Amino acid sequence: MAEKQNRELNRDLSSRQMQMIALGGTIGVGLFMGSASTIKWTGVSVLLAYAIAGLVLYLVMRALGEMLYVDPSVGSFANYATKYIHPVAGYLTVWANVFQWLTVGVSETIAVGIYLDYWFPNIPSWVTGVVVLAMLTAANLVTVKAYGEMETWFSLIKVITIVFMIILGLLVIVLGFGNHWHPIGFSNLWTHGPFFAGGVKGFFFALSIVITSYQAIEIIGITAGEADNPQVAIVKSIKSIVARILIFYIGAIFVIITIYPWDKLDQVGSPFVETFSRVGITAAAGIINFVMMTAAMSALNSGIFSSSRMLYTLALGKELSPRFLKLSKHRVPTLPVLAISGGILLGIILNAVLPLFWNGSSSIFVLVYSASTLPGMVPWFVILWSQIKFRKENASQMVNHPFKMPFAPYTNYFAILMLLVTLVFMVFNPDTRVPLFIGLGFLIIMTIVFFATRKHHHSLDKTN
C-alpha cells in the first residue's frame, strides 16, 4: 500500500488551470502564423472547415469526458486504449504522444529563440532557446501547481490578445474605427470568389491543417489524474473549453477574412499585426512577437508536462524502468521530466550543428516536425474507439451518468470517418504526404517493437 501511495501524483490542478492548460495547448502559433495559409487554400469556406473540425473536436472531448468521469487516471486515454482495445493500442498512444511533443517541443524551443532575436539580436537563438527550456523544466520539476499556474498565465496572454483583436476587428468592420470611420462591412466575404474557392480538394486539404491546429486539447485527459476534484473539474473544463476554442478560432478567422480580401492575404504579412496597426497601435509587431513567443513557450510547457506523464504511464505498465516511477518530494515524476527535456535539448543541438555539415538538414527538420500530425491524431482515434466498448462494459454506471457522449456510437463513427477522410486527403496533398508517411513509419516501427518484446512483458508480469 505504501508503494502504491508513493506512486500517486499530487492532485493540485484546479478546473480553471485545466481549462487554461487545454487552451494553451490548442491555441498556438498555428493560429497566429498559419491562418493565412489555410485561408489561401480554400477561401471563405475556411470558416466551415474550422466549424467541422470543431464538431469533431467536441465529440472527441465528450467521449473522453464520459470515461474520465468514471476513471480519471494519469495518462487516461492510453490506459483506456490498453483496457478496451488492445495493449498495443495503449503502447502506441503513449509513444505517439511522446513523439508528437518531442518534435513540437524542439521546434517551439527554436521558435522562442527566434522570437527573442527581435529584442536580443546579438545572442544566438539556440542559446536563448536552451535558457527557456531550462526555466520551463525547472517549473515542471517544482510542483504540478507551478506548472499549472505558469500555463494559466501563458494562455491568458494569448486569450486576451485574440479577444482584443476580435473586438478591434469588429469595430473596424461595423463602425470604421481606424478606417476614417468608414465601415468596411461584410462584402469581402463574397466578392473575391466562390465560397469553396479551392474546390472540394482544396477544402479537405485545408481541413487537414485545421484539424491539426486543434491537436493537444486531449491534454485534459492527462491533467485529470492530477486534478483536485476530478469529476467536477472534468465536466466544467470540457463544457467550457470547446466553446471557447471555437469562438477564438472562428471569431479571429472571421475578422481576418472580413477586413482583408482573402485572396490578397499573402501580401499582408501577419493578419494580426495588420489589424492592430490599422487602428493606430504602432507597437503591433512587438506585441504580436511577444504573444507568439508566449504561445511557443506555452506549447513547450504543455509538451514537457504531457509527454513526461506518458513516460510515467509506460513505467506503470512495466514498459520502462521502475526508475521512471520515482517521484520527488512534491510528487512530480522527476526522471520522465528530465528525459523529455533532454530529448528536446538534443534536438536543439542537432538543429544548430547539422547545418554546418549537411545543407539539406533544415528541410529534414521541417518534415520531422510535420510528421507529428498522424501521431497527434492517435489519441483521438483511441478515445472514440475506446468509449464504444467502455459504455458496454460500464452499463450500470451509465444509468445516472451526468456527462454521457451524445448519440453514441453513431457520433463516434461520424468523427472517426471525418478523421479518416482527412488522412486520405493528406495522402493526395504533396505538402503533407511525406510527413504523413514519416508518422506512419514511426507507428509501424513501434508496433514491431511492442510485439518483439512481448515475451519480456509476460516474464515481468509473472515475476511481479
In this prediction the pTM is 0.84
Q: Which regions of 129-265 does DSSP assign to beta strands (E)?
A: none
Distance, CA of 283 to chain centre: 29
> Rounded to whole angstroms, how far apart are CA atoms 241 and 238?
5
Predicted confidence (pLDDT) at residue 5 exceeds the cutoff of 50? no
Query: Which amino acid, one-letter code, is at 228?
Result: D
Angle at which helices 284-316 and 334-357 cross, to 10°: 120
**Residue boundaries of the structural domains of the chain:** 2-457
What was the pLDDT predicted at 2?
41
pLDDT above 90: residue 243: no
The backbone torsions φ and ψ at residue 282, rounded to the nearest 5 degrees and listed phi first, read: -70, -20
Q: Report the alpha-carbon distance of residue 317 to residue 362 in Å, rounded.
A: 37
41-84 pLDDT, tens digit each = 888 998 999 889 888 988 998 998 898 888 876 557 888 898 99
d(CA 71, CA 60): 16
pLDDT, tens only, 389-442: 999 998 888 888 888 898 999 999 999 999 999 899 888 888 788 888 988 999
CATH fit for domain 2-457, picks 3.40.50.620, 1.20.1740.10, 2.60.120.10, 3.30.110.30: 1.20.1740.10
Residue 13, beta-bridge partner list: 227
3-state SS assignment for residue 220: helix
Residues 146-156 have a mean pLDDT of 79
In single-letter form, the type of residue at position 441 comes to G
Q: Which residue has the higher pLDDT, 438 or 222?
A: 438
